[in-house]
Structure 1
Amino acid sequence: MTMKVRDAIPTPDNSTNFSIASDSKTVVGSTLDNLKAAIAGETGASAKYTAFAKAAKEQGYDQIARLFEATAAAEQIHIGLEYGLVSQIDPDYEKPSADAPAAEASDLNLISGACGEIYETSDMYPAFIKKAQEEGETKAVQVFTRAKLAESVHAERYLDAYNNLDAADDDTFYLCPICGYIHKGEDFEKCPICFAPKDKFTAF
């Protein structure tokens, strides 16, 4: 499945998939607090996916290893966007580090990844977006929105890989350097989230 390109860049104002999970697990603070919490979460995710990529390679799943590598890099893009806003307000803020969890079999790692991405896209980021809107933090709204939309695609990529674990293809993954969206295969012209052109993407 591929995310469709709309006539306008998706935002919370022109989209209806920004609802917050009714049993939300997210602790919401100020937008600055939320940016720092997002950085911590993305840092953990990037470390986890890097470990999962190594395990997939060792287990003979080259394409899944490339998917995890692309997603780890996508989370670094989100970290960079969020850190850019935090550092403007809190110049002394230092990025956190994270220890990678022990990797398991690749099918379980894919489910772990999908669950984390679904939480971020359906709970954490919608909650942070709502708070940023309330505080008039338009730059944070944009950063959180791009991450939220990319995370849902990451979850979709993981579930597709899980469902086709024993029927893999050789498709390349393409990472948008602006928002962290990941496309599978050659059939696209631009990012459906931020409209960056295909020639700006990084291949994995």
Structure 2
Amino acid sequence: MAESKTLNNLMAAFAGESQANRKYIAYSKKAAADGKINAAKLFQAASDAETLHALKHFEVAGKIKSTTENLKDAVAGENHEYQEMYPEFLKDAEAEGNQEAIRTFTFALKAEAVHARLYQEALENVDQTEEIFYYLCPVCGNIEKAVPDKCSICGVPGSMFIKY
């Protein structure tokens, strides 16, 4: 799709709906922890609705390409995050002495480097047919191809990793 107001609007809508999705998931988890099951279910349903909207906007904007092109885009995005974005965010958090922000930015920076490597491997082996499983650390977002004894980034036990 050529650059236009509509394309810009589709991408702005994609960003907004994507953020609403994540926000509502966080709200759902909090409501569930508070024992407010009806609010938790509503937030989860709304989160799923926002995902539907975001995915359709992204599709209509013509942003979904071939798997190879999508992997290249993912590598570039992850590289940007761990090489440029998070180092700058860390500097600001350190200057302000915000320890929780330092922790979350550090975890994300390290995990994004792993994601970039895994996307690059997938790109180099895009035609591989042997199934690979991935394991997600639910604390820091690290992804491994085998369950570790403990997460190399945050130290959480490997038994907590989620299989994909």
Query: TM-score per shorter chain, which class?
Result: 0.5 to 0.7
| Deviation readout 1:85-126 (Å, 9 max, x if unpaired) | xxxxxxxxxxx9883433111011011011001000001100
Which residue, out of 54, 63, 78, partners 1:99? 54
| Deviation readout 1:50-97 (Å, 9 max, x if unpaired) | xxxxxxxxxxxxxxxxxxxxxxxxxx6xx96xxx9xxxxxxxxxxx98
Structure 1, gaps ≥5 residues long:
1-42, 48-75, 85-95
| Deviation readout 1:108-155 (Å, 9 max, x if unpaired) | 101101100100000110000011100111110001000111011111
Query: Does residue 155 of structure 2 align to residue 198 of structure 1?
Result: no
- Report matched runs for 1:160-199 at 5 Å: 160-186=121-147, 188-199=148-159
Higher helix share: 2
User: Aligned partners of 1:149 and 1:182: how far apart in 2?
Assistant: 11
- Aligned AA for 1:192? S
The percent of aligned pairs where both chains have the same amino acid is 36
User: Aligned partners of 1:115 and 1:168: how far apart in 2?
Assistant: 24
- Report matched runs for 1:30-49 at 5 Å: none
Residue 22 of structure 1 corresponds to none
- Aligned AA for 1:139? E
Higher relative contact order (CA 8 A, sep 6+): 1
Query: Does residue 91 of structure 2 align to residue 155 of structure 1?
Result: no
- Runs of 4+ residues over 6 Å off in structure 1: none
Q: TM-score, normalised by structure 2?
A: 0.63
- Report matched runs for 1:18-167 at 5 Å: 99-100=54-55, 101=58, 102-167=63-128
Helix, strand or coil for the counterpart of 2:116? helix
- Aligned AA for 1:113? A
Do 1:171 and 1:185's aligned partners in 2 also have CA atoms closer than 8 Å? Answer: no
Q: TM-score, normalised by structure 1?
A: 0.51
Structure number with bigger Rg: 2
Counting matched residue pairs gives: 116
Helix, strand or coil for the counterpart of 2:97? coil
User: Aligned partners of 2:77 and 2:122: how far apart in 1?
Assistant: 15
